[in-house]
Amino acid sequence: MRLIGKAGKAAAIAAIAALALTACGRTDTGTTGGSTTGGEAFPKDSLIGVALPQKTSENWVLAETLFNDGLTAAGFKPDVQFANGGVSEQQNQISAMITKGAKVIIVGAIDGAQLGTQLQQAKESGATVIAYDRLLLNTANVDYYVAYDNFKVGELQGQALLEGMKAKKPEGPYNIELFAGSPDDANAKVFFDGAMSVLKPKMDDGTLKVLSGQTTFEQAVTQGWKAENAQRRMDTLLAGTYSTAPLDGVLSPNDTLARAIITSVKAAGKPIPVVTGQDSEVESVKSIMAGEQYSTINKDTSKLVEHAITMVKDLQAGKTPEINDDKSYNNTVKVVPAYLLEPVIVTQENVYTEYVNDPVLGPITKQ
């Protein structure tokens, strides 16, 4: 998997270069909160911890820079850590943030169910805990959740898969295979459920066929969101189930796995099926422009980080942060007050317009 920083990403996209763009915005509605509870809750130059997971996609790499820059600009002291070594490293990092006196701890969990002890300590120390992008599970000690609407991401992927196949071949039935993300990431099941809410009725009425029979989340998962795991599973499916039968589409939960699936198909010498994705990764945006990967999802990381920082500023000022969802994210112990942003589907049709205002990808132009 290729990971590049903001500058590299911008340079890579600039290299594809040149077309005119139309603005394309996103609206976030129905917000509540922002009320004052009186006085500063903690000093403006306080330490703010940001515990990020492994660098399993470009969005996490970008988040690191954005958190460092944004928190510093707001006057805070950022402590941003990646846990490339896994869950225990992330646990240690959160403990260290508490020891250093962090007033807010923002967590993008590797495994949202494995941080209970550290989150309890965070609460006891008086810190506020914000789940970032991925929900924190089985704990009362998470105050807010800020993320793109994960179920909607899955729905958009399911719809794109159907539309892409229909555009290539107006009449079904279609043969598809299903891939899901890593089972320790709370988002993975939500993405899958969102996609299945669209695909399952079509499987039931015979429009879609999953010839491998692997239709459950457990059968579809990709441990660690690792490209090599998706590629290996695709190799096996192609060599077995699809040695003669055509494969029309693949539900892929993100861009990294989409490219692994496409690599496998190419190596097998088969035509590329309709493959979905998510994250607007540089190589996938190029692939969409070249007509290989069918779709991605735009979840602008700068907007997500910006909102997380807005929450920190509100907390510092003694205000209740804005939320716009108080029912969707039950972590088994509580419904976590959430601020959800709207994901946007991107195909060849809108790839040149969607990123016009994107700080990393935009503006991209056609040659």
The correct pick among 151, 225, 294, 339 for binding ligand BGC (CB under 6 A) is: 225
Among 139, 158, 135, residue whose Cα is nearest residue 148: 135
| Of the candidate residues 56, 93, 118, 296, the single one contacting ligand BGC (CB under 6 A) | 56
For residues 186 and 259, the answer to whether their CB atoms sit within 8 Å is no
240-269 footprint of ligand BGC as x/- string (CB under 6 A): --------------x---------------
Least CB distance from residue 71 to ligand BGC, whole Å? 21
Tell me the CA distances in angstroms from 293 to 298, 327, 347, one per residue in order: 14, 34, 9
The letter for the amino acid at 123 is: K
Looking at beta carbons only, is 279 or 300 nearer to ligand BGC? 279
* Window contacting ligand BGC (CB under 6 A); options: 12-20, 31-39, 51-59, 165-173: 51-59
State in angstroms the smallest separation of the CB of 134 from ligand BGC: 5
- Shortest CB 203 distance to ligand BGC, Å: 24
Opening angle at CA 97, ends 313 and 326, nearest 5:
50
Using the minimum distance from each CB to ligand BGC, give the nearer residue, 6 or 202: 6
- Determine the interface stretch with ligand BGC among 40-48, 52-60, 110-118, 354-362 (rule: CB under 6 A): 52-60
Comparing CB distances to ligand BGC, the nearer of 108 and 175 is 108
Residue 284 makes contact with ligand BGC by CB under 6 A: no
**H-run or E-run covering 7:** helix 6-16
Q: Are 134 and 331 in contact (CB under 8 A)?
A: no
Query: Could you please report the per-residue DSSP string of 324-337?
Result: SBSSS-B-SS-BPP
Rounded least distance, CB 175 to ligand BGC, Å: 25
CB contact burial 204-224 (16+ within 10 A = b; e otherwise): eeebbbbebeebebeebbbeb
Q: Which amino acid is at 351?
A: V
Rounded to 10 deg, the angle between the 58-73 and 301-316 helix axes is: 40
Q: Is 157 in the site for ligand BGC (CB under 6 A)?
A: no
Residues at the site binding ligand BGC, with contacts judged by CB under 6 A = 56-57, 59, 133-134, 181, 185, 187, 225, 254, 278-279, 299
